[in-house]
Every structure is written in C-alpha cells, then in structure tokens.
C-alpha cells in the first residue's frame, strides 16, 4: 500500500513550493486535498463544547496518501473522553465524503494543560459570541447561587444576598430559576401576578434602602402549592423567557437562585449567559461538601467561573455568644480548597433566618449574627471577587503566566 505523504502545512501557513514540475503538480494536489479535508473537519462539532474541532484547536495533523488514504489526528481534552467513539464516527463520515478519499484513519492524542486551557478559553469566548440576546445589559454582573443538593439554604442565601446588594444602593435583579421549587416570593413576602407592558414582563419592583430590587419567579405565575411538571427544553425555555422577555432595566447585579443539583437549567444557563459567576453553597458536613463539589465541576464544564464558596449553618450562636457546631465544621474550607476557589463567608445557624423567611422579612436587614454575616458576605462579593473584565487585566494575565510556569516546571 502506498505510504501516506504528510501535507506540509500548518494552520495559517501556505504549503511550501516544491522543486520540479511533477513535484509541483503533486504538491498542488496535496494542498487542495488537505484544504478540502480541513474544511470537512470544520463541520465536526465537539458535542460537549458546542464548537468545531478545527476552531477549538483539537485538529493536530492531516496526512494524505497518494491513493487517497487520509489519516487525521485529533487531540482530546482527556485520554478517556467518553465522546471518543462519536468523534471518530463524525470525523470518518466528514472526511470520507471528500472527493478522492479512499479510506480514513483517526488517531487520538491528548491536549497538554496549556492547550486545554486555551481550548476552554476559545469555547467560552465562542459561547459568549453566540449567546442569544437575553435582555440583560452587558455591564450587569450575574451571580448564580447554586448547590449540590437541596436543604442547604441556597434560596435563603440568594434572597438575602440580593436584598443586601440592593440596600447598598444598587439596582438588583433576583430571578428565581428554581422553576420546580420556587420559594423566593415567600422568602421576601411578595404576592400578586406579574404584569406585561409593551410586550415585556414587568418584574416585581421593591425599594430596599438606597436601592431597588426587581424580582421574577414562577411563584408569581402559579399557585404556591401547584406542582410544575416540566423537564428539559421546557425548563430551559422558561428560564430563557424570564431572561429575554423581562424588562430588567439597567441592572447592576442579577442574582439567580438556581435549582439544586446539576441539571438542564444549569446547562442552559451556561449557553445563555456565559459570563455568569457561580457561588456554591454548602453546609459543614463532609457529605454536603462532596455533593457541592459536583455543582462546581458542572459550572466549570460549562465554562462558567466559580467565584467562591459560601458555608451556611456553620454554627449556632447562643444568646451568651457561645458558638456550637451543630452540623460539624470545616465543610466550607474543605470545599474551597478542593475546588480552588475562595471561601467567601460562613453564615451561622440562626433562627432569625427561618423566621424571616416565614414572614417575608429577610434576616440581612436585622442585627442577628446571621444578618451581620450576610451583610459581610455581600460586601466581600462586591469588594474582593473580580468580575470577568478584571480577570482579563494585566494582573489576571500575570497570574495566568505564573500558573503556566508552575505547570511547566513539574514536580521537584
């Protein structure tokens, strides 16, 4: 069988000029075939990242034999990529359709850490460029409050955080994206139906301190005890409509109360609002910390930035000032270390939080231990957590260079 001749080109480079008339003809044919193969490979989309393998930098090599045999090397993000078989089939089908190709062989490699980081950056930028217009200003900071499971106080954290940011003088949107388990209306003591004006939904508008809070929830559209039996695309469409079809205005912050776990809404959000920053809520026990780590992993697989960890119910402070660790301790710190994100705050177990949720009086407006901790959390998120624009600054680039230098140096 004739040995394949490697197409002498790299991305963005022209094929070299060979010597001799026959060599020139052969080189021209090879260049044309390589270009056709490359264009065919640009139709192969990585199903997890949603972009083609050429644009993502996963295409490493094309070799073309005189008899039409084509060898393609594709670099995967991890060696055991579960999508290997699907990508192989897609590559074989795309290249096999190019005129003159007699056979296709696919080889797989693995991206090194630097190339993998570059791939994720390209995927994130592509998601941002192709994201639908959701009606949220580009200047709005989007904070998604999420957790690995229910029962950790995620919605209470989201509601109190939004109220604290508004009290500080900001225009804050609060979207109850927990379509099945909506609880924001009760936590804030809000009732009534959402209205529409000029084809846009008007959020519930609540003055808070020097600022304003705008709230949207399925709870304003359904009875509190009604079950919402939606899945998949219908859930995503509901969240998309709450983003696109609401007259949010010029928000400073948009806080999202996400459903617990790692499901359809989370994946949809990663596509619709790629600039979202994720706040992971956990409780002190080890079991809760391990489950919460999945929420962080899900965010990063969707190319969302994990801004930090919030530990809830960290301890009970009695009236004499003594703290009791009712649910253990250290879960927030362990999770923060495990996922490489800062611990932004620890909120004590405090009856005022539950009482405030029942009466619609958020604890963050009071002077209880939890109220003070929640205000501190909001201030730290404002002060210490960089926005995506900051991450592209000189400091961000310098830290990125340090990370690469450490990776290259290897173990000592």
Q: Which domains does the chain have, with CATH numbers?
A: 4-112 (3.30.300.130), 129-403 (3.40.50.300)
Residue 197 is given by DSSP the state: E
Provide the residue-wise pLDDT of the chain in tens; the chain has 412 residues. Answer: 445 444 444 444 444 444 444 444 444 444 446 888 999 999 998 877 777 889 888 899 999 888 888 999 998 887 777 778 889 999 999 998 888 888 999 999 988 888 877 777 777 666 656 666 677 888 899 999 998 777 788 899 999 999 999 999 999 999 988 766 688 989 999 988 888 888 888 899 999 989 999 998 887 875 544 444 444 444 456 666 777 788 888 999 999 998 876 555 666 666 677 778 899 999 988 777 778 888 888 777 776 788 899 999 887 777 777 777 777 677 889 898 888 889 999 999 888 888 888 888 899 999 888 999 999 999 999 887 555 444 333 334 444 444 444 444 444 4
When computed from its CA atoms, the radius of gyration of the chain, rounded to whole angstroms, is 26
Look up residue 30 and give its two tokens.
């090879």
pLDDT of residue 264: 58
Please say whether the beta carbons of 344 and 308 come within 8 A: yes
CA dihedral sign of residues 368, 371, 375, 377: positive
Look up residue 382 and give its two tokens.
């404002």
288 C-beta neighbours (distance < 10 Å), count:
25
pLDDT of residue 408: 47
Q: How many whole angstroms separate alpha carbon 282 and alpha carbon 371? A: 18
Q: How many whole angstroms separate alpha carbon 88 and alpha carbon 203? A: 48
pTM: 0.63
Residue 222 is given by DSSP the state: S
Look up residue 80 and give its two tokens.
């055991």
229 C-beta neighbours (distance < 10 Å), count:
7
Chain centre distance of CA 407: 24
Please say whether the beta carbons of 155 and 279 come within 8 A: no
Residue of 257, 266, 304, 260 whose CA lies nearest to 282 = 260
Integer angstrom CA distances of residue 217 from 31, 122, 190: 57, 33, 10
Look up residue 340 and give its two tokens.
């490489």
pLDDT of residue 131: 61
pLDDT of residue 394: 37
pLDDT of residue 74: 92
Helix (H) or strand (E) holding 305, with range, is: strand 305-317
Give the bridge partners for 208, in sequence order.
211
Look up residue 411 and give its two tokens.
């173990």
CA dihedral sign of residues 245, 246, 247, 248: negative
Measure the CA dihedral 395/397/403/407, to 10°: -160
pLDDT of residue 346: 93
* 396 φψ region: left (φ > 0), alpha (ψ -120 to 50), beta (else): alpha
CA dihedral sign of residues 345, 349, 353, 357: positive
pLDDT of residue 397: 40
Residue of 144, 130, 150, 152 whose CA lies nearest to 239 = 144
Please say whether the beta carbons of 304 and 273 come within 8 A: no
DSSP per-residue codes, 74-130: EEESSTT-TTHHHHHHHHHHHHHTSTT--EEEEEEEE--HHHHHHHHHHHHHHHHHH
pLDDT of residue 43: 92
pLDDT of residue 276: 84
pLDDT of residue 9: 43
Give the list of residues 6+ apart from residue 35 with CB closer than 8 angstroms, or none.
none
């Amino acid at each position: 069988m004739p040995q394949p001749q490697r197409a002498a080109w790299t991305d963005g480079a022209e094929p070299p000029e060979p010597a001799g008339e026959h060599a020139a003809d052969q080189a021209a044919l090879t260049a044309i075939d390589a270009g056709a193969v490359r264009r065919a490979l640009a139709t192969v989309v990585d199903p997890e990242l949603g972009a083609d393998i050429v644009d993502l930098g996963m295409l490493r090599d094309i070799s073309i034999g005189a008899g039409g045999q084509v060898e393609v090397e594709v670099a995967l993000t991890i060696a055991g990529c579960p999508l290997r078989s699907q990508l192989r089939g897609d590559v074989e089908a795309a290249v096999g359709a190019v005129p003159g190709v007699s056979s296709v062989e696919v080889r797989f490699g693995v991206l090194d850490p630097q190339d993998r980081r570059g791939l994720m950056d390209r995927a994130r930028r592509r998601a941002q460029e192709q994201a639908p217009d959701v009606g949220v200003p580009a200047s709005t900071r989007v904070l998604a409050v999420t957790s690995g499971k229910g029962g950790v106080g995620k919605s209470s954290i989201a509601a109190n955080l939004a109220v604290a940011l508004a009290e500080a003088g900001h225009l804050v949107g609060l979207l109850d994206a927990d379509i099945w388990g909506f609880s924001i209306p009760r936590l804030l003591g809000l009732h009534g139906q959402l209205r529409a004006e000029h084809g846009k939904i008007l959020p519930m508008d609540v003055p808070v301190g020097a600022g304003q809070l705008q709230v949207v929830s399925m709870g304003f559209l359904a009875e509190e005890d009604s079950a919402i039996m939606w899945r998949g695309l219908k859930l995503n469409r509901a969240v998309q409509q709450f983003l696109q079809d609401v007259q949010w205005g010029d928000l400073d912050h948009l806080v999202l109360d996400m459903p617990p776990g790692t499901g359809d809404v989370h994946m949809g959000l990663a596509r619709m609002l790629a600039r979202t920053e994720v706040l992971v809520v956990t409780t002190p026990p080890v079991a809760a910390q391990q489950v919460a780590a999945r929420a962080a992993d899900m965010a990063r697989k969707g190319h969302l930035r994990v801004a930090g960890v919030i530990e809830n119910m960290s301890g009970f402070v009695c009236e004499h000032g003594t703290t009791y660790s009712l649910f253990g301790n250290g879960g927030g710190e362990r999770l923060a270390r495990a996922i490489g994100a800062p611990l932004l705050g620890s909120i004590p177990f405090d009856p005022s939080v539950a009482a405030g949720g029942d009466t619609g009086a958020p604890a963050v407006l009071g002077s209880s231990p939890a109220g003070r901790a929640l205000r501190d959390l909001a201030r730290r998120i404002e002060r210490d957590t960089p926005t995506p624009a900051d991450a592209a600054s000189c400091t961000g680039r310098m830290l990125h260079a340090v990370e690469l230098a450490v990776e290259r140096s290897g173990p000592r």
